[in-house]
Structure formats: C-alpha cells, structure tokens
Chains A and B, each alone.
Chain A
C-alpha cells in the first residue's frame, strides 16, 4: 500500500517535472513573444503618431469636428488615439500568439478568432470616424443655417441632428462587431420608432401653431428677415 502511494507520488513528481520541462520553454517563448510584441507595438505606435503628425491629423480632426467630440469623451487627441489603437491591436495579437504557444486546449483557436475579429473591429472604427465627421458637419451646417435663417431653437435642432447621426453610427458599429446584435438592433428600432412617433404626436398635437409660424417664416410673401429689408451693397 505504502509502496503504491510512493509510486504514485513518484509518478506524479515525474509527470510534473516532465510537464514543467515541456511548459517552461513554452512559457519563456510566450514571454519572449509578449515582450517582443510589446516592443514592436510601441515602435509602431511611435511611427503611426509621427506619420499622423506629419499628415496633420489633429488639424483635420479639428476641421471636421472630431477633436471636440474626442475631448468631450475624455479621449486623447486624434494622433495619440490612432497610435493607441495600433498599439493595442498589435500587442493583443502578439499576446494571443504567446498564449497560443502555451498550448492550453481551452484557449485554442482564440488567435484565429481574434484575427477574424480585427477586420470587423477596424471597419467599425472607420464607421465611427465617418459618423463623427458626418454628425459634426451636419450639426454645424444645421446650426448655421438655423441661426442665419432665424429658425427657432437652433441649438436644439442641430444637437438633435448630431445625436441622431451618432446613435445611428453607434448602432451600425456595434452591429458590425456583432456585440449583442439582436439587442442593439431591437433597442435601436424601438428607440428610433418611439422617438419619431413621440415627435410626430407632440408636434401634431401641441405644435400646430409653431409649425404654422415656421412655415410662414420660411415662405413669407415679404422679405424673409430684417436682414433682407435693406440693400447691403
């Protein structure tokens, strides 16, 4: 009995040593991959930031209205954000490659899934960037047109336009990366439908007078505003 226990312990010890002998090189390789990946990711981040700086990405972000949105969301400037995205994508790739080397059965295929996910993630990021740009452009254009056209509540109107586009963009991005696809789509459809219905009912019931005033203001028989009453040239 004692002999059997001793054999089992010896066997377990032998197995442990053999496993350790097999695992340690993998662990070292994993660590090497992760450290090497971190260095590569850092290097790429520096390069991307330098290229973005050279391309004046921050100026473009200011121009297209992305910068203020990043600031509001407590995110870094556009060039730093691009660098960070590249850093995390590359390092995460190396990290998963390293974990894959360890040979854990439960983590098998994680790397393949990650690389399959990356294009969708990038596409979602592109959708978000375009959405930010379009939303900001539409916001500013609506605000300026409303102010100069003497439309009531220009900030409310332009803000609504911006958020509508941002919500639509966010839903598209989430749908692209397949995060809670059904929930997102259903929530968006319900929220959008409810909002439209609420606006229509509210405007129809309570805003008849306002609608009349707006239409009379927009299509007047006489000059549209005080600015049109004088000859400016």
Chain B
C-alpha cells in the first residue's frame, strides 16, 4: 500500500528483477556530483571485499539533481572500483539510481530507500551521506556487520574526531539526547546509520514521514526511534569525521537540528519521562586509529556579541527563561567577553527552559529556537576558549561532565514537563 505511492512503477520493476537481497546500501542525493564517485566506489569495494557471497544492492534515491548525479551513480565504472579490491564478489552487485517523488528532503529519500529495503527483504541496510569525501569500504562494512552478523537492529556511527569539533553535537544534542533517552549515543545527528529489516518495517509504519520532522530532522528521529522503541542498538566506528562539501548557513542548520531534537523529545516523551541516568551503548567496532587534527577555531569571536545579544533579546527571553536563569544569564552577560565562562549548570537550565517553552508554545516555535542560537554561540565560544589548548582527555572529561549535568537536572525537567 505504502509501496504503491513511494515506489514508481519503473523502480518496482527494477526491484522485482533484483529480487531478495542480503545487504542494501542507500545513498540519498541532491546535486552531489562532486562527491558521489568516492561514495559509490567505497560501497562497491565494501560489497566485494566484505560481503562477496551476499546479494547486494546499492540504491541511490535522488531529489532531482541537475548536475548529473544520478548518471554518475549509474555509470560509475565497476573496473574503477575493482582495481584496488583484493577479493571479488561472487554475486551480481545491483545498482539502481531513481528519483523520489514529493517534497525535496532527506525524509522522502530515506522513505524510498526503506520501502525498497522492505520489498527486497534486505537483512541489513546501511544509509550513507553522499555529501562527504571520507567514507571508506571499512566504514560501510562497520555499519552493516553488526546487523548482518550480530542481529543488531540499529547501528549509530562513532566518528574519530577531535572533541572540540562539532560543538552543536557536543554542547547540545548529544548531552540532551543522552540525558533524555538514557543511552550514551555519541552521534545522534549522524546522517549515516545501519539497521535491520525489522527496524525498517517499524519506521515505515510511523506517521513521521509527511511531517516537518520527517523532512529536515529524519536523522535525529531515526536515532530517537531506535532508542525509544527498544530496538537492539549499538555503535560502530567510522573513519575520521568526513567534512561535508557543502555547508548549510549556521542559522538554518541550528534551527533544523534544534527544532528536530525538541520535536523528537516531544514525540518520545512517554519513553524518556520514565528513564533516569544513562547506559553506555556497545561499540561493535572502534574507529580506525588515525591522528585527528585539532580544529582551528576562535572562541573569542563567538563570545564577542554575547552581552549585546542578551541585552537585545531580554524582552523575548523573559517569556522563555525562568527568572533565575535569566538573572544568571544577565549577570554573565555583564562580564567582559574575554572573561566569559558560561557554566555547565546555567547552560543546562537554559536549554531545559527553552525546551519547556517550546513544549508550552509560549510563542512561535521557530522563534523559540532562534532565541537559543546566540546563547549557544556564547556557550560554545566560552567552551572553545576555555579548552583551546587543553589535551583531548581533559576536553573529553569536560564534555562528560556536561552530559552528567544534563542528567542531574533531568528530574527537575520531568517535574516541570509534567506540570505544564
């Protein structure tokens, strides 16, 4: 029934010709001509090196690229990929590139890939990000193996990267999701993941696909859904965190990620309101050991405007933050930018206050999320400057302390959540 609307007749014929598969790798694309070749190559190398006896399918779901991306996927030379393989596949490696229908966005692409996976009864599914250059065959295999060989339902990636990288993940999404869901998942917003056919079927039955969350926050939702619905989950190490070739402007990115995180928490509230503390997630395979570079970031520049931003937003903040949090924030903003230290406890209460305001709908939700952006920049700038020269272990410890602070404050969040 769902397949009728998601899969075109042509795609349906292709899939029927392919038949059942063991491993399916999906790659959603939209104008990724500059990066798609290495991704296809890595997938084929993974198929021939690590799954030579399996029936495999690479499916590219394209959102209407006008730079020839689908053609590149279709015409990617197999010789090209085989030149460096040490073993050869014993079965045909199928490859399909197809457009998806509906509103552009990863949600529709993922829905098509999952529908195809369900139809072909794929035992293990991996979804990759076409917008990266660092994906390796080992990375693809790391996402597939725990599902194929160890009966895991969901595999989240763990990137090898410096702890000062990805502050939106380390300062906000990771500790928030960890405290809420009670699982220590390192990369909840990762665009890559592996999953079982059982999880695919479950996801397709949910009503998320036509929502805003399905359009822009499907990566977060998939992680949250796996954790909240009790699917057997683990993590797998990937190569150093791949740099994306295109970068969404900060404001848009922040809005999408934070709005999706809050929307996920709202959807999964019945689960996480009853959880306390957090449990580690099994690491099925560690990330390859390679040196990671310390990012060159200037935290001072991020904190320069903090005091002015708090002053400008005061009349909006008073509707969102509790009196105590606002007073502490104003006291913090009164300090010199170079002496700004945004404490963990204040950051946690800021995030939780904003989350509660989002839930209560004290104003338009996109406005609530936008209010958090300058505060996040202040916190991030403060953290980056404080640990600019610290060793990785010390930064990791500080990030762990932040996660624990989120967990410590959770009972208060639950109480206020239930009282609204």
Contacts and interface: CB of A to CB of B under 8 A. Distances in A.
Interface string B375-408: 0010000000000000000000000000000000
Contacts, number: 78
A143 B167 contact: no
A213 interface: no
B257 A227 contact: no
A150 interface: yes
A230 B370 contact: no
Nearest to B381: A226
Contact of A155 (B169, B251, B312): B312
A233 B257 contact: yes
Contacts of A226: 298, 301-302, 304, 377
A225 B316 contact: no
A133 B347 CA distance: 31
Given A141-B367, A226-B304, A228-B250, A63 B316 contact: no
A227 B363 contact: no
Interface in B240-255: 243-244, 247, 249-251, 253-254
Interface string B348-368: 000000000000011110010
Contact of B253 (A225, A229, A233): A233
Contacts of B167: 230, 232
Given A154-B312, A225-B250, A144 B370 contact: yes
B168 A232 contact: yes
Interface in B253-289: 253-254, 257
A228 B248 CA distance: 9
Interface residues of A, number: 28
A150 B370 contact: no
Q: Interface centre among B189, B251, B305, by most A CB within 10 Å?
A: B251
Nearest to B251: A148
A232 B253 contact: yes
A233 B374 contact: no
A231 B319 contact: no
B interface: dominant SS:
helix
Given A65-B363, A148-B373, A228 B249 contact: yes
A18 interface: no
Contact of B371 (A144, A227, A229): A144
A147 B313 contact: yes
A144 B253 contact: no
B90 interface: no
B316 A143 contact: yes
Contacts of B295: 230-231
Interface in A119-171: 137, 140-141, 143-150, 154-155
A146 to B, nearest CB: 8
A192 B377 CA distance: 39
B82 interface: no
Contacts of A155: 312
A141 B371 CA distance: 10
Given A147-B312, A229-B301, 10 more contacts: A62-B363, A143-B316, A144-B313, A147-B313, A149-B251, A150-B305, A225-B250, A228-B247, A230-B297, A231-B243
Interface of A: 62-65, 68, 137, 140-141, 143-150, 154-155, 224-233
30 contacts: A62-B319, A63-B361, A63-B364, A64-B363, A65-B363, A140-B316, A141-B367, A143-B312, A144-B313, A144-B371, A148-B370, A148-B373, A149-B251, A150-B305, A155-B312, A224-B249, A226-B298, A226-B377, A227-B251, A227-B302, A228-B247, A228-B249, A230-B297, A231-B166, A231-B244, A232-B168, A232-B250, A233-B166, A233-B189, A233-B257
